[in-house]
Chain A
Amino acid sequence: MSGAEQDEGGGQERVSAFMGRSKYPRRRLIDAIRFLPLLGLGLWFLPLLWNARADETPMSHAILYVFGVWLMLVVAAGFLAVLVARLNSDTDDPVQENGLTKRL
């Protein structure tokens, strides 16, 4: 079943401590994906600090800020998703992987 499929992420990290160099960018990419929601959370919690400001923040600013963060997150997530897909197909192709290793 699907569980028997070759794993393409966290699993291999623990199975072998040594990995090809081509795996390195992939792991950093996954780190980036993991970091993204934390970034979003931080940015979206920022407006709570506006409460302490002396003059009130107009609603239009708040809207532009919140949706700006949103757009940024979506674009970043889309970019990372495309990269992950590309790296996955790269590692499926042994020739390509060898080439990468040699070049590095």
Chain B
Amino acid sequence: MGKSVLLIEDEPNIVEAISFILSRDGWKVSTHANGQTALARIMETQPDVIILDVMLPGASGYDILSSLRSEPKTRELPVLVLTAHGQDRNREMAEEMGASRFMTKPFSNVDMLEAVRSLVAS
């Protein structure tokens, strides 16, 4: 398949785990750990899917998401929002902001893989 994923997440162990799962499935995974420079990175790499953590140094995942949605070029870009805050209002907020999918940590590896796959398929 060779589709590309950009993983924006600052916790190194989680980055390693997700990278491992997706690479084995044949995804091209690039990673980024800083919220502030994430937008530039997205424009530069033009990924097919983005996995976005909410608690990021520099800027929150929600900020990045709303910037993406206001830009015509990235309005349709599939974004999977990941958060360690598992409350309902986090999910509502993410959906309002235009998240394509929402997952809470910890997640099952299978679910994660399926979620990313479904985002590209649709």
Are chains A and B touching directly in their complex (CB below 8 angstroms)? no
